[in-house]
Amino acid sequence: MGAPVTWFEINTSDSAAARKFYAELFGWELQVLDDTYALVSTGEDAGIGGGIGQAQGPNQVTFYIEVDDPQAYLDRINGAGGKTIVPVTEVPDVVTFAQFADPQGNVVGLVKAR
């Protein structure tokens, strides 16, 4: 089996405006965690959940791939010409994730399977 895409993030310089735009346009339900991030539920069984947050640099859209061992994948990615952007990071009781850039510079996330 392949590794599924399980999460997306839209990070922008104006996360409040982005939250309003996407919620109104697509009917997404938002759970605002703080001024900088909100969880997204599309309200459907199909598709994946996500988040809309404040960018720490340029605006970007990132998708996350679920894997059993993020560090092992980062090692393989680095060996194949990619680059670690965010090392394996654990948010206790929430998520363990990492981000990498592929050889063309696209940033993609990894999330540890539960």
Q: Taking phi first (over 0 means left), then psi (-120 to 50 degrees means alpha), and beta for anything else, what does residue 72 get? A: alpha
| Statement: residue 84 has pLDDT above 90 | yes
Per-residue pLDDT averaged across 16-33, rounded?
93
Label residue 59 exposed, middle or buried (CB < 10 Å: 0-12, 13-18, 19+).
exposed
pTM of structure: 0.85
| Statement: residue 114 has pLDDT above 80 | yes
| Statement: residue 102 has pLDDT above 80 | yes
| Statement: residue 1 has pLDDT above 80 | no
For the chain, give every domain's residue range: 5-112
Residue 88: what pLDDT? 98
Q: What is the pLDDT of residues 30-79, one digit of tens each?
A: 999 998 999 999 877 778 999 999 998 899 999 999 999 999 999 999 99
Per-residue pLDDT averaged across 17-27, rounded?
93
pLDDT tier, 93 (very low <50, low <70, confident <90, very high otherwise): very high
Give, in words, the CATH class of 5-112. Answer: alpha beta
Q: How many angstroms separate the CA atoms of 23 and 80, rounded?
A: 38
